Amino acid sequence: MKYIISLSLLLISSMSNAFDVDYELIEQAFLVRNNAQAPYSSYYVGSSIRSQRGNIYKGCNVERCSYTQSTHAEQNAIDSMIAQEGPAKIKAIAVVAAPAAQELEILDFVDAEVIFGDPRSVASCGHCRQIIWENSFNDPNVIIYLVNVNTKKIYVTTIGELFPYPFGPYDLGINYDDKK
């Protein structure tokens, strides 16, 4: 895998319009994607989470030969956050996905177009949307950055847009805020 680590993405965050894009989070998703274990699908996914406390947690997809025991990147990152902080709220999440053979360079995305909403071609799967929702703590405005490596666009959406009719812990009377 070829990739370039650069602070360029961090430097251009000040160039965002009214919305401050979390380029550090996106860069971390790029980097962890290279650690994926995907011998069956050959599709590498990297995800990074910024918790409400401001910490970043990363995860990549890990495939198992039984398939059903594979771990999705978003799930891996969220579980890492919980392992460190206990039940914790997600502030934002970034996802970068592409075939393993597709070389990605972070610098290719320094001047990527940022599009708000309508990420149909690159959105997280339903399994991951459910997991993201459960750690959004009933907040539909948790930010999701989805990088489309083919069009070199960064889509910014929310869990509420991706998962409009959620079922989660609050529907079962569970309030994680009460458990701390």
Q: What is the pLDDT of residue 125?
A: 92
Token pair of 49, please?
Answer: 């989470």
What type of residue is 141? N
Average pLDDT over residues 90-102: 95
Distance CA 86, CA 76 (A): 14
Q: What is the pLDDT of residue 141?
A: 96
> How do residues 38-60 score in pLDDT, each as one tens digit?
999 999 999 999 999 999 999 99
Q: What is the pLDDT of residue 178?
A: 66
Distance CA 63, CA 71 (A): 6
* Long-range contacts formed by 33-36: CB under 8 A, 24+ apart: 33/60, 33/73, 33/96, 33/97, 33/98, 33/104, 34/1, 34/3, 34/60, 35/60, 36/60, 36/61, 36/62, 36/73, 36/100
CATH number for the region 8-179 comes to 3.40.140.10
The domain limits of the chain are: 8-179
Residue 8: pLDDT band with limits 50, 70, 90: very low
Look up the pTM and report it.
0.86
